[in-house]
Amino acid sequence: MRNKYDLKTLAILLLLVSCSPAPVAPVSDLPLSFNAAIPILANNLMMQVKSKQSLLDNFSKKNIVIDPFMDIKSHEVLKVSQQIEKIFVAETQKVFGNQFSIERLTPKNIYQADYVIHGVIMYEPYKTNGNYYHIISSVIEKNKGKVIAKSDVWISNQTLDYTPIIDSPIVLPNIQSITEDVVTIKVNAKVPANYNNVLEIQAIINKAEEAYGNKDYDTALDLFTIATEQQSFDQMSMIKAYIGLYRTNIILKDLNAAETVFEKIVSFNFEKNGILNVKFIFSVSKTSFDDTLAAEYPLWLRQIGKYFEQKNLCLDIVGHSSHTGKLPYNCQLSLDRAVAIQQKLQANFSNIHSITYGKAWAENLVGSGTDDAQDAIDRRVGFKLASCPISDNRTRKNKIEDCVKLASSK
């Protein structure tokens, strides 16, 4: 009788442990230094995961994979993303020891993963104290397809390393990625139906980016090619795969292959989104190009021009500027940038009809006004499909006045 009683007691205890998770205290919302905040974020997420586990889960090591954190505006993986990943791995191993294995998401570990960590990096208003970096992260229990942990921290550092891992020729379109989806939904909510499909492609892209970062460009080329051949309805994954393939071909000096890939990037973006924001990056307060990617600009213009000429389409050319200096000057500057691109395009494609606009900082993607790598995409030029026929009846003065009105309201 005693053994029977003990077994019943043990069963009840196991049930209670598995169904009554211990509450985990939320993270403070006070901005902290990067090196202090990220370990806190990692620990808080892992404690939430532990609180959801049953007693039986403690008898086996669980596998965690990290999908690299991305900037929510540019949708790019940055050098600071790698710093976050290293801290997560080190902190998890230090605090939780053999309870978890943790590494970057790759094709090799995706099917053994019990949990997946996603995260985004934001730069946004903090209460009434101006803009701060804000990092939000969620943990997915992969087999159940639901969010089981979520946390966030504010960063007090004035700058983070926004250098992209893969230098994209375009600003990624403003479409929701799977990462953004899962960090915005609540704990215990189900992930989107296409989550596993997108995760598989992202695992390939992660491995390709890792090879690219290690200068193993032949492997990167093979992996990015495989990623572009996947059957996926996720636009963000496919665009990222093409961008990686383009950049790798540039590094390998296969310009013909790179131009073929860029042609696909152009058609994909216009046909799916009707817009293409290209990183014609201008020097601060100038209409001359920053030297970083300028050697590739003729290739970009050639493919954009061919697309519009072959399809007999019209377009709006929109110039932008970073959020520094006086507004009227930035309206002039952004308009002049659009005109500069228009003139270069018309030099080889005189039949294309276009209208130029200046938007100053009205459509900034970052808006930090730091005039560095972080807000380089704010000094871009965008192309947008326009209904033909078009006529540009506004004077330069009218365009600048319209820009001032628009940007003043932002």
Q: Which residues of 73-89 are buried (b: 16+ CB within 10 A; e: fewer)?
A: bbbbbbebbbbbbebbb
Residue ranges matching CATH 3.40.50 in the chain = 23-184
Band of pLDDT at residue 59, cut at 50, 70 and 90? low
Q: Which of 68-82, 184-198, 228-242, 328-342 has the lowest mean pLDDT?
A: 228-242
Band of pLDDT at residue 312, cut at 50, 70 and 90? very high
Q: Which fold is adopted by the domain 274-410?
A: 60s Ribosomal Protein L30; Chain: A; (3.30.1330)
DSSP letters of 133-170? EEEEEEEEETTTTEEEEEEEEEE--S-----BSS--SE
Is the pLDDT at 55 greater than 90? The verdict is: no
Query: Which pTM was predicted?
Result: 0.87
Is the pLDDT at 18 greater than 60? The verdict is: no
Going by their DSSP bridges, the two strands 146-155 and 131-141 should be labelled as antiparallel
**Residue-level pLDDT at 58:** 67
Helix (H) or strand (E) holding 300: helix 297-311
Band of pLDDT at residue 2, cut at 50, 70 and 90? very low
Band of pLDDT at residue 222, cut at 50, 70 and 90? very high
Three-class SS state of 323: coil
**Residue-level pLDDT at 254:** 97
* 289 DSSP 8-state letter: B
* Cross-strand pairs, 100: 62
Region 238-243 average pLDDT: 95
> Residue 90 and residue 118: Cα distance in Å, rounded?
17
> Residue 262 and residue 254: Cα distance in Å, rounded?
12
DSSP letters of 210-265? HHHHTT-HHHHHHHHHHHHTS----HHHHHHHHHHHHHHHHHTT-HHHHHHHHHHH
Band of pLDDT at residue 210, cut at 50, 70 and 90? very high
Give 23-184's CATH code, choosing from 3.40.50, 2.60.40, 3.30.1360, 1.10.10: 3.40.50
Region 335-363 average pLDDT: 94
Region 48-75 average pLDDT: 87
Mean pLDDT of the chain: 90
**Residue-level pLDDT at 5:** 47
Backbone dihedral angles phi then psi of residue 134, each to the nearest 5 degrees: -135, 120
Give the strands of the sheet with 354-358, arranged side by side. 170-171, 275-278, 381-386, 314-319, 354-358
Is the pLDDT at 74 greater than 60? The verdict is: yes
> Residue 359 and residue 364: Cα distance in Å, rounded?
9
CB 191 within 8 A of CB 234: no
Residue ranges matching CATH 3.30.1330.60 in the chain = 274-410
Is the pLDDT at 25 greater than 90? The verdict is: no
**Residue-level pLDDT at 16:** 47
**Tokens representing residue 317 in the block:** 């050319």
- pLDDT tens, 249-274? 999 999 999 999 999 999 999 998 89
Angle between helices 327-346 and 297-311 (to 10 degrees): 70
